[in-house]
Chains A and B, each alone.
Chain A
Amino acid sequence: MTSEAPISSGDLHDLTVTALAKQLREGKVSAVEAAQHFLARAKSNAALGAFLNINEAATLQQAQAADARIAAGTAGQLEGVPIAHKDIFVTKDFPTTAGSKMLEGYRSPFDATVVSRLASQGAVTLGKLNCDEFAMGSGNENSAYMPALNPWDTTRIPGGSSGGSAVAVAARLAPAVTGTDTGGSIRQPSSFCGITGIKPTYGRASRYGMVAFASSLDQAGPMARTAEDCALLLSAMCGPDLDRDSTSLDIPAEDYSLRLNDSIEGLRIGLPKEFFGEGLSADVRKAIDAALKEYEKLGAKLVEISLPRTELSIPVYYIIAPAEASSNLSRFDGVKFGHRAEQYTDLLDMYKKTRAQGFGDEVKRRIMIGTYVLSHGYYDAYYLQAQKIRRMIADDFQQAFTQCDVIAGPVAPTVAWKLGAKSDPLANYLADIFTLPSSLAGLPGMSVPAGLGDGGMPVGLQLIGNYMQESRLLNAAHRLQQATDFHLRQPSASTLVS
């Protein structure tokens, strides 16, 4: 692999996944060289807080195996491409913490399906990425280890809960990463860090090996710099996993790259009027409007639609998600894995102290809310009522999709805020308003860079599709990225160590 390498390894991090995979297949750079380059970048930029764990020996071993497959002519689509995983996905070769002290040092005996699917296409695991504890949060400030910093302005949050994931891609510490999205946790940090991310239809990516937060909402997805890269990764990640995830859809895997270049002439883009009301800040609105103008130039038609229960999605989500979380997190009792208190008097005391010490405040709040709304006497009024309104919200989308092919709007009402600016948890919940409705409906959604707002911070355009319409979303995003350079902008080098 040493002969005629036209690409200097100094440029590797500027390549897209698509370009890097090609260089690797053609032997212009080796998987080991690529892994070493990104490991060095990840280490020299440790101050950004993107990574929770790096294991050079494990990464290099995977890279050597990738090089052997390239040499043998059995390379997969992603052979040798280093990909870092949100620390919600369990991995054999790396510890998994879910951003919590509860799982400090935990080692899974198996890999999550998404991790093994990517590995089967040759991806090399670069490490594990910081996130809000158990994926609960929208600023990465709920990580039990450290906050992650937005590389566009390190006094600001990168978004969450997949905050470390977004930082790693924006700062080019990894060509692409995985994230998970329960109420916006792929789309919002993608928006805040100026990258491209997609959450597929609920049930499309296996949840096996994802540390469970809210099981009827959790979905995995890729985050990268371009829609083309997301299509490549999503194709590898998605597909039926019928024996291991009871909610996995029995629909064959799909190549999401096939329709990227389709014309979007005549595409009807629905703009929910509730997404453009007074809650939307002027700078975000301006960037979104400019992106929509580009779509008109490409031949798309903008139509006004209504999602009348947009505001209701906040209480509905914050009933359903904590209810499911309170049930899922009951497994953390200090017996079979994870933290156990050192001092206790009896079994009950051990449970209490273990959970009081192991969980952070936001996780405790949600467990308490969830336990309360599921309790006898309140179940019908809260949980069941929320699930009924959830059906109304999903029906509203089906009504909207009779008038349009995709829905577009902002991902979040503002650009990324300053660290510590939203210490009130309610303020965080309210900022999720534009991502929650499609999460509740289980629809695919993505964030596509759409220029800059206040403080020179990135703004993301949200695209929402009907069930199983990931191809159409990626097509619409790719066409925008062919015509504009929003996705090529990157944080000033001053915040980064090369």
Chain B
Amino acid sequence: MLTQLNGFFDIVEQMRAVDTSGLEPLAHPVAVIQDITLRLREDAVSEPNQRDLNQQSAPAVERGLFLVPKVIE
């Protein structure tokens, strides 16, 4: 896997030579043609409480809590 990762960074080298001075990074592609502002919504409860459903795929649950190995002595 190390060889593969090094091989990958060989093809990335061509990218580093490109002059991008003065350019803004593009995060949302549609921002190329229009202003995109990330929306905020009201900080209000919008979902029903479905704890059992939300925990049905948890590896370890007890009394409605997710169990992890002991982290505090």
Which residues of the other chain, A, contact B36 by a CB distance below 8 angstroms?
Answer: 247
Question: Do residues B25 and A391 form an inter-chain contact, with CB atoms below 8 A?
Answer: yes
The reply to whether the CB of B45 lies closer than 8 angstroms to some CB of chain A is no
Question: Do residues B30 and A315 form an inter-chain contact, with CB atoms below 8 A?
Answer: no
Question: Do residues B1 and A216 form an inter-chain contact, with CB atoms below 8 A?
Answer: no
The reply to whether the CB of A395 lies closer than 8 angstroms to some CB of chain B is yes
Which residues of the other chain, A, contact B68 by a CB distance below 8 angstroms?
Answer: 335, 347, 350
A424 to B4, CA, bound (A): 8
A8-16, A262-270, A336-344: which lies at the interface: A336-344
Which residues of the other chain, A, contact B28 by a CB distance below 8 angstroms?
Answer: 202-203, 216, 247, 442
A346 to B57, CA, bound (A): 21
Question: Do residues A202 and B29 form an inter-chain contact, with CB atoms below 8 A?
Answer: yes
A368 to B29, CA, bound (A): 25
How many A residues have CB within 8 A of the partner chain?
Answer: 60
Question: Do residues B30 and A442 form an inter-chain contact, with CB atoms below 8 A?
Answer: yes
A340 to B71, CA, bound (A): 17
A392 to B5, CA, bound (A): 26
Other-chain contact of A109, B7, B54, B60 (Cβ < 8 Å): B54
The reply to whether the CB of B63 lies closer than 8 angstroms to some CB of chain A is no
The reply to whether the CB of A440 lies closer than 8 angstroms to some CB of chain B is yes
Of B18, B36, B54, B55, most buried by chain A (CB within 10 Å of CB) is B18
Question: Do residues A365 and B16 form an inter-chain contact, with CB atoms below 8 A?
Answer: no
Question: Do residues A107 and B1 form an inter-chain contact, with CB atoms below 8 A?
Answer: no
> With A107-B57, A312-B15, A335-B59 known to touch, is A346 a contact of B69 (CB < 8 Å)?
yes
Determine the main DSSP class of B at the interface with A: loop
The interface bits of chain A over 300-314 (1 if a CB of B lies within 8 angstroms of the residue's CB, else 0) are: 000000000001101
A384 to B18, CA, bound (A): 12
A122 to B40, CA, bound (A): 32
Question: Do residues B27 and A387 form an inter-chain contact, with CB atoms below 8 A?
Answer: yes
The interface bits of chain B over 20-51 (1 if a CB of A lies within 8 angstroms of the residue's CB, else 0) are: 10011111111011001011010000100010
How many B residues have CB within 8 A of the partner chain?
Answer: 41
> With A350-B69, A390-B25 known to touch, is A243 a contact of B41 (CB < 8 Å)?
yes
A:236-255 near B, CB below 8 Å: 242-243, 246-247, 249
A382 to B20, CA, bound (A): 12
A318 to B15, CA, bound (A): 11
Which residues of the other chain, B, contact A389 by a CB distance below 8 angstroms?
Answer: 15, 18, 20
Closest residue to A339 on the B side, CB-wise? B59
A:387-433 near B, CB below 8 Å: 387-392, 394-395, 398, 424-426, 429-430
A314 to B29, CA, bound (A): 17
> With A202-B29, A365-B1 known to touch, is A392 a contact of B23 (CB < 8 Å)?
yes
A216 to B8, CA, bound (A): 22
> With A312-B14, A390-B26 known to touch, is A425 a contact of B4 (CB < 8 Å)?
yes
A137 to B73, CA, bound (A): 44
Which residues of the other chain, A, contact B26 by a CB distance below 8 angstroms?
Answer: 387-388, 390-391, 394
The reply to whether the CB of A319 lies closer than 8 angstroms to some CB of chain B is yes
> With A107-B57, A388-B23 known to touch, is A312 a contact of B18 (CB < 8 Å)?
yes
A365 to B5, CA, bound (A): 7
Other-chain contact of A388, B20, B32, B54, B69 (Cβ < 8 Å): B20
A424 to B3, CA, bound (A): 11
Other-chain contact of A347, B4, B55, B57, B71 (Cβ < 8 Å): B71
For this complex, 28 residue pairs linking A to B, each with C-beta atoms less than 8 Å apart, are: A107-B56, A109-B50, A109-B53, A109-B56, A202-B28, A202-B29, A216-B27, A246-B38, A246-B39, A247-B36, A312-B18, A315-B15, A318-B8, A338-B59, A340-B59, A350-B69, A365-B1, A365-B8, A368-B5, A385-B15, A386-B15, A389-B20, A391-B23, A441-B29, A441-B32, A442-B29, A442-B32, A443-B29
Instruction: Beyond the given A365-B5, A382-B12, A424-B4, please list 10 additional residue pairs across the A-B interface where CB-CB is below 8 A.
Output: A216-B27, A216-B29, A242-B41, A246-B38, A311-B14, A337-B57, A364-B1, A365-B4, A392-B23, A429-B11
